[in-house]
Chains A and B, each alone.
Chain A
Amino acid sequence: MVDIKDLEKAAREGKLDRREFIKRAGALGLAAPFATTLLTQAVQAATPKKGGYYKLGYGHGSTTDSLDPSTHENGFMTATVYSYANHLFEVENTGKLVPELAESFEASKDATTWVIKLRKGVEFHNGKSFGADDVIAAINHHRGEDSKSAVKSLLDPVVEMKKTGSHEVTFTLASGNADFPYILSDYHLPILPEKDGRIDWQAGVGTGGYMVEKFDPGVSLKLKRNPNYWKAGRAHFDEAELISLIDVTARQNAVMNEEVHAIDRCDPKTVHLLGRNPKIRILESTGTLHYTMPMRVSQAPFDDYDVRMALKLAVDREQLVKKILLGHGAIGNDHPISTANPYHNGEMPQRAYDPDKARFHIKKAGMENQQIDLSTSDAAFSGAVDAALLVKDSAAKAGININVIREPKDGYWSNVWNKKGWCTCYWGGRPTEDWMFTAAYVAESKWNDTDWRTGPAADRFNELVVAARSELDTAKRREMYHECQQLVNDDGGALVPMFANFIQAINKQVVHADQVAANWDMDGHKSIERWWFA
């Protein structure tokens, strides 16, 4: 169905003239004067305006935050680094990966050698010009024996890094990885000015659209526009401030009282009330965060394919999204790949609640009305205990007897998760398929919480993950990842009923493109660089 949003978009792109716009808007039941206003707004919004002091409230931030990129671990620092520095690659608002400080790149056929050409004529805030040495220092900051960086293991496959020109760096990897540019877009890897072979992070100087004016860990960050910014059509605000507002009520009050222009992580319970405020717009995007109920396939009764299938069919996903996420999410299809990932398999049929089929499978396994334990705690995610009880109820209709065990919050991750046969869990999600599968699904991962390591399907899956990693042909790669998702969905032990939404509240004065990035909240934590005032 066409709605007014589509019309606005078409008008902005010049596909509709004024007369046509008003005619079609009229067909949607809008009066002409109102439609004219809408049209003006829609077209105005298309051309970003410069200026303004943008204030942003974040539900993150800690007194222990530091500008050292190897220590970044929360959204506050991610947003910080994405506004004052640039990376070699960036995930665009459309979700596409594009070169940022890199200009172009070339990979060898096996995806082990990557020659990255760098952008010329870019300057750091302190006037130093950007070149290959900065890149090498920035990456080396996380490598080496004594490195305690969070991304050390991600960079382990890099065996050699060579400056092959003033603006060219060649990476050699131990084994092929077609996702290497994705890794280089990680928020831990900003390119900062090199000094004596190391990066000089203390100064808070980068190549980004904003310069750090004042950084107060756990409290706020003040930014000023970089007049010299190289990227066209970005960094529209004159000044920006990022404020740490951990308490959700305080955050929502701040945006309602117009003390900040946008906040992340709204409370799903009250967001419909917040949306009634005439000054505020609610922005939701489905990210990679998902809630799971891993079954360990090495333990009885989950070693039986039919038991797993019965349980997967006995979950009412729609109901879980409605009651646990209060509608702010999307249903999952028993694999960890989100629509925000590049190779999400949308063609696979969505598994639905089917008590009859579930009964068939549980009978076949000979487990009808026998007790199956499900361990849970709200440590897994907020509402996990209720989710388990909902599963118990929907499964009871299929003749499956689930015994919900409420585990203590303390030590949940060390005593229950990855140990008990079936429990509740969450995964923050990863930007690429390879990253996600390697973290939690391949045989050698310590965090393989379904213990799905052997058997024909698992073997095939492990082979495919390795093969897809070095496959540069996108079409082939897509096929491989689609099959991986199929395998996890069918044979794997993961029950993935839902993906949670990022819920943000934004003052209506603030404008952004129609599509916002879903790799993180707040347009991939880049709202300061991408958004503008109407």
Chain B
Amino acid sequence: MHPVVRTVLQRLGLGLVTLFVVSLILFSSIEFLPGDFGEAVLGQAALPETVAAFRKELGLDLPMHERYWQWLKGMLTGDMGNSFSGRGASGQDRSRPVVELLGPRLANTLFLAAMAAVISVPLALFLGITAALYRNSIYDRTVNALTLTTISFPEFFVAYCLILILSSFTKIFPSLANVGPETEFWERVYLTALPALTLTLVIVAHMMRMTRAAIINLMASPYIEMAELKGTPKAEIILRHALPNAWAPIVTVIAFNLAYLVVGVVVVEVVFVYPGVGQLMVDAVTTRDVPVVQGCAMVFAATYILLNLFADIISIITNPRLLHPR
């Protein structure tokens, strides 16, 4: 078996074990949370008997291991159960399958993440490489200062600044990113411009600094010195000799930031009213809609594991020493 394939399979297996452990931790930590969905949803109408009837209807009266087993079985077959909410005060069952709730929102979140990645990754690489190329020049300092400034501000501040400048004063982009299932592609791009830009400003510094540092680190190695001595132009030294060896740390940071784009954009979603997973999960936590919280958390965990796997594979492929181990 090719070593890369073997590593991928190995990592996938380990990923599944990790997911299982995550599910255990998740389930038991939710168990320790105070409060109860019945009381949260019934509010003023929560009489002891209605709460008890509610718990029974939702199967919350069963012991914990039974509920865990039920849930795990469902997860394995792709059924995340039904949401708790929607069985609200009116007493009617309008609860929807978690998959149905999560699906379109996950698509939205992935779209926004992709938008932000398409802008920020090339930008960060370009800035990082050029900053390394013109190290300690005014250009390098300016880029560093700017990106560090944008990363230092909280997301909502960056978001409100962008709204103020690009939406209130100049009306270039809308401040509401309320996309729907049948929003057309370019319309969608236009609507998500501000959130994507916000995310770009927030993550670009991390990736750019890493690219710069990794390349500068390599510039001190003997083989680069050799290339310099034989008169290779500086740009070629960086692109042909330094960059291939710098991919591993860069890709790790990129994967980390992509994962953040998927799981950590709650604030940006709220500010722009973007119907993504983050908002869904926060709403679910406040209403104690446990199946939705669990579903979201599992999706997030899987995203992290997959993106890290992806980063590992890239580092193996770009590194001949790992690709052809002795």
Contact = CB atoms under 8 A, between A and B. Distances in A.
Interface stretch (A129-137, A224-232, A253-261): A253-261
Given A220-B180, A247-B271, A254-B175, A414 B39 contact: yes
Contact of B275 (A62, A219, A253, A447): A219
B96 A410 contact: no
Contacts of A37: none
A220 B92 contact: no
Interface stretch (A63-71, A85-93, A95-103, A502-510): A63-71
Interface string A405-444: 0001011011001000000000000000000000000000
Given A64-B94, A64-B96, A417-B44, A257 B168 contact: yes
Contact of B180 (A216, A413, A446, A447): A216
A249 interface: yes
B271 A64 contact: no
A250 interface: yes
Interface string A229-252: 000000000000001011101100
Contacts of B171: 257
B91 A245 contact: no
Contacts of A411: 35-36, 39, 46
A173 B90 CA distance: 24
A177 to B, nearest CB: 23
Contacts of A254: 175-176, 273
Given A71-B92, A148-B91, A250-B273, A410 B176 contact: no
A247 B101 CA distance: 20
Contact of A245 (B45, B167, B273): B273
Main secondary structure of the interface of A (DSSP, over half): loop
Interface string B38-60: 01101111111001000000000
Contacts of A149: 90, 92
B44 to A, nearest CB: 5
A446 B47 contact: yes
A230 to B, nearest CB: 30
A247 B273 contact: yes
Interface string B259-302: 00000000000111101000000000000000000000000000
B85 interface: yes
A73 interface: yes
Contact of A148 (B48, B90, B176, B181): B90
B44 A70 contact: no
A477 to B, nearest CB: 29
Contacts of B270: 247, 250
Interface in B48-96: 48, 51, 83, 85-86, 88-92, 94-96
Nearest to B85: A64
A64 B280 CA distance: 12
A249 B85 contact: no
A150 interface: yes
A158 B166 CA distance: 58
A435 B148 CA distance: 60
Contact of B89 (A73, A410, A414): A73
B178 A413 contact: no
Given A148-B90, A250-B272, A257 B174 contact: yes
Contact of A70 (B83, B92, B273): B92
B34 interface: yes
Nearest to B177: A250
B129 interface: no
A376 B320 CA distance: 67
B180 A219 contact: yes
Interface string B287-319: 000000000000000000000000000000000
B47 A66 contact: no
A63 B39 contact: no
Contacts of A62: 85-86
B156 to A, nearest CB: 9
A73 B88 contact: yes
A265 B176 CA distance: 18
Nearest to B95: A64
A247 B91 CA distance: 26
B58 to A, nearest CB: 15
Contacts of B271: 247, 249-250
B176 A63 contact: no
B242 interface: no
Contacts of B207: none
B253 interface: no
A214 B94 CA distance: 20
Contacts of A150: 89-91
Contact of B178 (A63, A71, A219, A253): A219
A68 B270 CA distance: 28
A408 B101 CA distance: 31
B163 interface: yes
Interface string A51-66: 0000000000011101
Interface string B5-28: 000000000000000000000000
Contact of A414 (B46, B90, B91, B178): B46
A257 B163 CA distance: 9
A17 B225 CA distance: 93
A73 B90 contact: yes
B275 to A, nearest CB: 6
From B36, B83, B88, B273, name the one whose CB has the most chain A CB atoms within 10 angstroms: B273
Nearest to B168: A257
A250 B178 CA distance: 11
Interface in A283-341: none
A145 B275 CA distance: 38
Given A71-B94, A259-B174, A253 B35 contact: no
Nearest to B272: A250
A253 B44 contact: no
Interface in A198-239: 216, 219-220
B39 A245 contact: no
A153 to B, nearest CB: 11
29 contacts: A62-B85, A62-B86, A63-B86, A64-B83, A64-B95, A64-B96, A68-B92, A70-B92, A71-B92, A71-B94, A73-B88, A149-B90, A149-B92, A150-B90, A219-B180, A243-B178, A250-B270, A250-B272, A250-B273, A253-B167, A253-B168, A253-B176, A254-B273, A257-B174, A259-B174, A259-B176, A410-B40, A411-B36, A413-B43
Given A246-B273, A410-B36, A413-B39, 13 more contacts: A73-B89, A150-B89, A150-B90, A150-B91, A247-B273, A253-B168, A257-B168, A257-B174, A259-B176, A410-B35, A410-B40, A411-B36, A411-B39
Interface of B: 34-36, 39-40, 42-48, 51, 83, 85-86, 88-92, 94-96, 101, 163, 167-168, 171, 174-176, 178, 180-181, 270-273, 275
A-B pairs, 4 with minimum CB distance: A64-B86, A410-B35, A148-B91, A150-B90
